[in-house]
């Protein structure tokens, strides 16, 4: 059964614990700039908005990647978007194509980062104290 990451935006407290665990899992260090999930805070409304790849069915990012590059693909097991950092040139076309702002150009490097669902066991979900994130069967809320 195919699963997807779900975000209940109204529950987010802005603690950013998801960001810390994401960067720790993927880079072995705590650095929110290297997190594949980002929490944005609107300082006027005080609303916190987690942004992460929702692994949408549109796959706009993959279609936007230049045909000669093809740095983005789909993981056959998790259906997550995967970035081949050896191929990625950091052109940012996938970033611009994503309607959910789920892909980010990694500052100081020539590659993008996107949620890979931690291979099917998302760290952000396991550590979110507010229950904002869930990893459930696609089509279920």
The pTM score is 0.88
CA distance 54 to 84: 19
Give 39-48 pLDDT, tens digit per residue: 998 888 888 8
CATH code, domain carrying 88 = 3.30.70.20
Determine the structural domain holding residue 111 and report its residue range.
Answer: 3-137
Structural domains counted in the chain: 1
CA nearest neighbour of 123 among 114, 111, 133: 133
Burial annotation 10-33 (CB, 10 A radius, 16+ → b, else e): eebeeebbbbbbbbbbbeeeeeee
Give 25-61 pLDDT, tens digit per residue: 999 999 999 999 999 988 888 888 899 998 888 889 9
Confirm if 63 and 75 have CB atoms less than 8 A apart: no
């Amino acid at each position: 059964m195919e699963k997807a990451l779900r975000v209940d935006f109204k529950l987010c407290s802005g603690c950013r614990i998801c960001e810390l665990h994401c960067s720790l899992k993927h880079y072995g260090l705590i650095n929110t700039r290297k997190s594949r999930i980002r929490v944005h805070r609107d300082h006027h409304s005080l609303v916190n908005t987690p942004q992460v790849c929702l692994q949408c069915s549109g796959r706009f990012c993959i279609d936007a990647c230049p045909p000669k590059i093809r740095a983005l693909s789909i993981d056959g097991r998790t259906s997550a978007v995967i970035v081949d950092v050896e191929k990625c040139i950091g052109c940012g076309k996938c970033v611009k194509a994503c309607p959910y702002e789920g892909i980010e150009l990694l500052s100081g490097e020539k590659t993008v980062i996107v949620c890979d669902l931690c291979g099917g066991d998302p760290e952000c979900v396991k550590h979110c104290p507010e229950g904002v994130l869930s990893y459930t069967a696609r089509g279920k809320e």
